[in-house]
Amino acid sequence: MAESAKSPQTELPHKAFGWAATDTSGTLSPFHFSRRENGVDDVTVQILFCGVCHSDLHTVKNDWGFTTYPVVPGHEIVGVVTKVGSNVKYFKAGDKVGVGVIVESCKECECCQQDLENYCPRPVFTYNSPYYDGTRTQGGYSNIVVVNQRYVLRFPENLPLDAGAPLLCAGITVYSPMIYYGMTEPGKHLGVAGLGGLGHVAIKIGKAFGLKVTVISGSPHKEAEAVDKLGADSFVVSSDPAKMKAAIGTMDYIIDTISAVHSLTPLLGLLKLNGKLVTVGLPNKPLEVPIFQLALGRKLVGGSNFGGIKETQEMLDFCGKHNITADIELIKMDQINTAMERLGKGDVKYRFVIDVANSFSSL
């Protein structure tokens, strides 16, 4: 006989606290729930900071159609190890660590064997995902998390934890396609479409690889910040036909970070022969691909997910070496609903990060 279903507040032994959405309004509110006890292969992390990703907003509003409520979002987690299992060799209490988009995978498939757990057919995401024991995962808008050691990342000592938190998703999401598609050759020209949480990190990583970087944005007012503060070499206003025409055929690569539905035709026009356009934004409707442009210019349109654990660690080490962090607005947890509203309007420079430790310090 099947056991009666338990609530997420009581089904596991370790009490936890966070903020959760309970319906498609996406409004988050205080939520008591439970985590599993630290097993022999587990690492328990006291969460200090958690970035606010656009995926969090999509999930709490069920924009993609697969949200199970209640849901505690958050997959850009940094904190301090408080406990490790007897089989854990590479982490100890007091270590600064990160937890990204994934917390488990099958470990047996071809993808897992190649350190590409992010493409495993049976992934367990950090939140809103069924775990192998039948429970559902809850994310980093909370005080603690328990994670299998394979999916824990060592955080560079020289990077600030708050501004470094978005690297766990935004950083690896732009780093991984640059590595895989060979978009790292010094002197080549990279276009970054969209100047938000992903785009601003793509500028910094692109410059660290020695690329010429041009931002492509529909917001003219972002030009000064893109060039003067973030280090882009140039700026193209996508709504200005003259400037777009002048940039035709000038770019070797484009990383498209735009999460809204948009046309790929003008972006493909900016590419040189053999140019590559890689999309990492996740619009909720299909985009049209202009085949003639691809065929006549031998161009490539590709996609990319976040990276596997090994590559994510490489990205963190690369960012530590080059002092790359996100530009953030630090908020307390009780400001999260206002932050979500602003995020939906693109009103953030360029990533909200929740100061989790100081939000829950009185509990």
CA atoms of 169 and 313, how far apart (whole Å): 12
Using an 8 Å Cβ cutoff, are 139 and 83 in contact? no
With bands split at pLDDT 50, 70 and 90, how would you rate the model's confidence at 6?
low
Question: What are 236's strand-pairing partners?
Answer: 216
Alpha-helical regions (H) of the chain: 54-60, 110-113, 161-164, 170-180, 197-208, 223-224, 241-246, 265-269, 291-297, 309-322, 336-344, 356-359
Question: What are 302's strand-pairing partners?
Answer: 278
Q: What is the CATH number of domain 14-169+327-361?
A: 3.90.180.10
Predicted confidence (pLDDT) at residue 95 exceeds the cutoff of 80: yes
With bands split at pLDDT 50, 70 and 90, how would you rate the model's confidence at 93?
very high
Predicted confidence (pLDDT) at residue 7 exceeds the cutoff of 70: no
At the top level of CATH, which class does the domain 170-303 belong to? alpha beta
Phi-psi region of 192 (alpha: psi -120 to 50; beta: other; left: phi over 0): beta
Predicted confidence (pLDDT) at residue 3 exceeds the cutoff of 50: no
Whole-number pLDDT of residue 360: 81
Whole-number pLDDT of residue 361: 63
Whole-number pLDDT of residue 1: 32
Hey, where are the domains in the chain? Answer: 14-169+327-361, 170-303
Query: Rounded to 5 degrees, what angle do the CA atoms 105, 107, 110 make?
Result: 105
CA atoms of 226 and 215, how far apart (whole Å): 7
Question: Which pTM value belongs to this model?
Answer: 0.93
Predicted confidence (pLDDT) at residue 144 exceeds the cutoff of 80: yes
CA atoms of 137 and 33, how far apart (whole Å): 11
pLDDT tens digits, 299-357? 999 999 999 999 999 999 999 999 999 999 999 999 999 999 999 988 998 999 999 99
Whole-number pLDDT of residue 8: 64
Whole-number pLDDT of residue 20: 97
Q: Would you give the distance in Å from CA 163 to the centre of its chain? A: 13
Distances (CA, A) of 186 to 179, 279, 341: 13, 21, 39
